[in-house]
Amino acid sequence: MIISQSSKDPIYRQISDSFRSDILEGRLKGGEYLPSIRGLAKELRISVITTMKAYEELESEGLITAVQGKGYVVNEQNTDMLREQHLRKVEDALTEAISSARIAGMSDKELMETLKILLSIREN
């Protein structure tokens, strides 16, 4: 896991995003344990509180569960339901982006061009 101090995303979000991707893409399977909170904090040289916040975010999304005395375990995933949840998040984010574009006076064409540019940057 690579954490960037210069990222616009907070460290806990970078951690949760990394684990979320690993879970949703099948690199972490149901029943597997995540690294201990203290162990991950030590490995990444960050606060235990930051690691805990990332794990709590994943738990609130139903991706992991705390097991008393053992740590956090990956939940079995219903991929169709998870896909729907993420599609809703995408729709919400795009709706917000459209609203901001309208406020900024952007045309649909400008907005589409911006999206194309951002997509091409992510592919590289």
Calculate the alpha carbon distances from 38 to 11, 25, 80 in Å. 15, 25, 33
pLDDT band at 124 (very low <50, low <70, confident <90, very high): low
Share of the chain above pLDDT 70, in %: 98
pTM recorded for the entire structure: 0.67
Topology of the domain comprising 11-74: Arc Repressor Mutant, subunit A (1.10.10)
Chain segment 84-115, per-residue pLDDT in tens: 877 888 999 999 999 999 999 999 999 999 99
Chain segment 15-69, per-residue pLDDT in tens: 999 999 898 878 999 999 999 999 999 999 999 999 999 999 999 998 999 999 9
CA distance 120 to 124: 7
CA distance 85 to 20: 13
Is 50 within 8 Å of 42 (Cβ atoms)? no
Residue type, 103: I
